[in-house]
Amino acid sequence: MDIHEYQTKELLARYQIHIPRGGLAYSPEQAAYRASEIGGDRWVVKAQIHSGARGKAGGIAICTSDQQIVEASERMLGRKLITHQTGPQGKLVSRLYIEEAMDIEREIYLGFVLDRKSERIMIVASSSGGMEIEEIAAAEPDSIIRATVDPGVGMQDFQAREIAFGLGIDNALIGRATQTLLGCYRAFVEYDASMLEINPLAVTRQGGLVALDAKMSFDENALFRRPHISEMRDKSQEDPRETFASDRGLSYVGLDGRIGCIINGAGLAMATMDMIKIAGGEPANFLDIGGGASPERVAKSFRAVLSDKNVETILVNIFAGINRCDWVAEGIIKALREVGVPVPLVVRLSGTNMEEGRRILADSGEDIIIAETLAEAADKAVAAWRSVTTQQAA
């Protein structure tokens, strides 16, 4: 789960990480009022969406008067901001964050992420901030510092100081940089984060160290013990298909294809999507219904897949171990009769109670395309989708 920049800064401020003074606004008039509360003569108006590269898309404006703040706010609010991270559909701007502008001397990149290979928290830092980490890695790979933290002892002062010295931070700011690094680590661990990024971490001309932009992502499996983090969720920033599925306990990732997938097991789901592409099609989603798929859960899966209006064919691929094929077959029939499936349906059942499951499908009288192997299922799904496409063209 992602949260907004202003929410991340609120969390980081609790760990003695310096942030600019700022306030949230939902209208141009409120934005101007926030600037008057902050004081000063320069402010930054920032669109609050779950995406980076907002500045390049017109989502950040530096203003020197109330009129400029109002004009910038009117341009942003209610608009869909399109960045390379949002895709062509963009994300709707419904709130702004107004901040005091800072005099920046240099910018630093700082990130914390879970490294699955080492099974530890990894710190990634660079003396070249203000860019995406991918751009930094391509343009200045030697500037990137990487360090992992031993989970048995946590991040130590000496480790934070080594990173600070490696970034070329002035000696007078080493203490502040060390405090910032340790504070980020504590926030990462204590909030069950999966990613924390400050970009840029700015050294100001006044000799300060300030987090100018920040973002955090959290492990959704740990949100049950972080209710105050769950309350920060903004569903308007999420893919509505994924929101629909997650609210019903389904593992779903939306894609851009036309063939919807309902599968049990992440590995089988990946293999199925690969086979669809080999057969010449494109999957519309990743959906893992899990190990204990009741008929009700299968029906929910159909609703989740059909919430994507681009789906023109559905492929159900079940390899039953813990599952039972007859349960899945009952769920498919339930979905066909209660939900309504207006697109071709290809089903492959294998494993526990496979024969009974296939019999239930065959005796249902419903229009279902049966396949015995994964390759056959993918071929039939792509053929059905092409048939639909041909009919639509005609």
Residue positions forming the annotated binding site: 46, 99, 102, 107, 199, 213, 264
3 state SS of 327: helix
Q: Which two tokens stand for residue 39?
A: 């004081």
Is position 197 annotated as part of the catalytic site? yes
CB atoms within 10 A of CB 73: 25
Cβ-proximal residues to 237 (8 Å cutoff; 6+ apart), any chain: 2, 4, 49, 50, 91, 92
Is position 191 annotated as part of the catalytic site? no
From 249, 197, 244, select the one nearest 224 (Cα to Cα). Answer: 249
Residue of 6, 109, 185, 191 marked catalytic: 109
Q: Are 100 and 86 in contact (CB under 8 A)?
A: no
Residue of 197, 242, 312, 330 marked catalytic: 197
Q: Annotated binding residues for ATP, as ranges?
A: 46, 99, 102, 107
Backbone CA torsion sign across 327, 377, 384, 358: negative
Q: Are 57 and 74 in contact (CB under 8 A)?
A: no
Question: What is the C-alpha to C-alpha distance for residues 307 and 112, in angstroms, rounded to an integer?
Answer: 35
Helix axes 374-393, 266-278, angle to 10 degrees: 50
Q: Annotated binding residues for substrate, as ranges?
A: 264
Q: Which residues are catalytic?
A: 109, 197
